[in-house]
Amino acid sequence: MSVVALIGGQWGDEGKGKVIDSLAGKAKMVIRFSGGDNAGHTAINPYGEFKLHLIPSGVFHPHVICIIGNGVAVNPAVLLKEIEELRGRGVEVNNLLVSDRAHLVMPYHTLLDGLEEERRGKGALGTTRRGIGPAFADKVARIGIRTGDLLDKDAFYRQLNSTLEFKNAILAKLYGHPPLSLEEIFHQYCRYAEQLAPFIRETETTIHQALAKGESILLEGAQGTLLDPDFGTYPYVTSSSPLVGGGSQGTGIGPMEISRAVGVFKAYITRVGGGPMPTELKDDVGELIREKAKEYGTTTGRPRRCGWFDAVAGRLSVQVNSLSDIALTHLDIFDGFPSVRICTAYRLDNKTVDYFPSNATALERCQPVYEELPGWQESIADTRDLESLPQQARRYVARIEDLLSCPISFIAVGPAREQVVEVKPILP
Ligand code: GDP
Ligand code: IMO
Ligand code: MG
């Protein structure tokens, strides 16, 4: 039996979509377990190039059952558009299920996400404004509405009525915003309900039947460890757990069932949105990485901040996720670099530290301590085995393994499905 959790090891956009698309051929089920359409997962395969926000990246393999788990916040308009787009481009979406426990992103969530960001002014978090924070806040405040609630129109109306009264009061009193119409939202969501009803169900039984049969299941994370509300750069974080632990909670699979935990890391690091980033490069090298790797947000189009690989942050990721393996992506971006750097420690207030401070202000003061390694001049885009990688690239890979105390089992050398060096098979 094999349940493999695959999570972002950095600040998101590590290439999770690509890795899942590459691995899913051997899986029976892929379950997205956290976040919402703040995520943007790219897959490039024989169907073309796709940017998925909610549907698991296993969808391109017709035999794979794709589940949007209970831990995801679902914007039904985005989900329907995604289904339509996939179908329009020849991808079947017959094996999709949506957990009836997954919370809904409502129009007041997206509106409030934007208004809250405006109110923060200079201290804005740089959210994706997709309503994800407000939707998860309602979940824990116990005023959320779930996909399953859409299936009982009368109950849904009563729930919406009571929540909207409260939200409209906030909109009016705090933001001077006109109220949202109960009838409009109700009818709009009833239309979504009709279209989504065939997908919405109690998914635990299906998942546990697959577990009982010993089938291979991939848990697809969103965002990345450094955006976790507990272990990330709080408050510059997202609102659901991108960790392997979130993979258990967001699917209903107990932690003891997870046999492998794979952290996806870029060979460098990127961040989109506000918050500290010790190895950020605000120079030509940062610009070169951004342009070469097209580092612009999949969801918002914002330029991503780029920097050298941060092994201090990486070690935290390995620890809080108990990673068994690393999938290292974007190694090809360093082709032609005279040398590459890895941050091995920070200088903080005249001391050298080897841990990732919990406090964002302390992290802002951290100066990276770098180790420099020789680069390689040849293209690795067509390399498919470890031995054929240039010796300097292998040395770089080995140094990251060493600093993070975790084996690198998978190396991506380009964005397409087949551009992979499989060091050790992740799925049997
Ligand atoms: P995700 O959110 O973790 O799924 O990552 P995104 O899809 O937001 O961003 C990753 C970007 O890098 C996408 O444009 C991918 O097509 C691309 N990509 C993924 N792996 C590689 C790789 O190994 N090399 C290169 N050059 N691009 C990659
Ligand atoms: P994938 O799954 C990168 C960032 C936002 C912002 C912070 C909070 O594609 O890796 P939110 O909208 O979640 O309230 O924003 O989190 N963020 C991401 N950054 N990749 C993502 O997802 C992200 N999802 C959220 O930019 O800094
Ligand atoms: Mg992304």
pLDDT in tens, 106-151: 999 999 999 999 999 999 999 999 999 999 999 999 999 999 999 9
Ligand 1: distance of its center to the CA of 307 in Å?
16
41: annotated active-site residue: yes
Span 47-57, average pLDDT? 98
Q: Whose CA is nearest to atom 27 of ligand 1?
A: 415
Ligand 2: distance of its center to the CA of 128 in Å?
6
13: annotated active-site residue: yes
Q: What is the dihedral of CA 2, 396, 298, 53, to 10 degrees?
A: 10
The active-site residue out of 21, 37, 41, 325 is: 41
pLDDT at 325: 98
Single pTM value for the model: 0.98
Q: Whose CA is nearest to atom 8 of ligand 1?
A: 13
The active-site residue out of 13, 21, 37, 149 is: 13
In tens, the pLDDT along 366-404 reads: 999 999 999 999 999 999 999 999 999 999 999 999 999
Helix/strand number for the chain, H first, E second = 12, 20
Span 141-167, average pLDDT? 97
Span 351-360, average pLDDT? 97
Ligand 1 pocket member 32 (CB < 6 A): no
Can you name the residues that pair with 374 across neighbouring β-strands? Answer: 339
In terms of DSSP bridges, do strands 269-271 and 309-310 run parallel, antiparallel, or are they unpaired?
unpaired
SS3 category, 235: coil
pLDDT bin (cut points 50, 70, 90) of residue 428 is confident
pLDDT for 203 beyond 70: yes
pLDDT for 427 beyond 90: yes
Q: Token pair for residue 239?
A: 């609102």
pLDDT at 300: 84
pLDDT at 51: 97
Closest alpha carbon to 331 in 2, 5, 18, 11: 18
pLDDT at 236: 98
Largest CA distance in the chain: 66
The length of the chain is 428
pLDDT at 415: 98
Q: Which of 128, 218, 329, 418 to mutate to test the pocket of ligand 1 (most atoms within 8 A of CB)?
A: 329
Q: Could you say which DSSP state residue 36 is in?
A: -
pLDDT at 330: 98
pLDDT for 1 beyond 70: no
Can you name the residues that pair with 262 across neighbouring β-strands? Answer: 6, 325
Ligand 1: distance of its center to the CA of 295 in Å?
9
pLDDT at 299: 79
Average pLDDT of the chain, as a whole number: 97
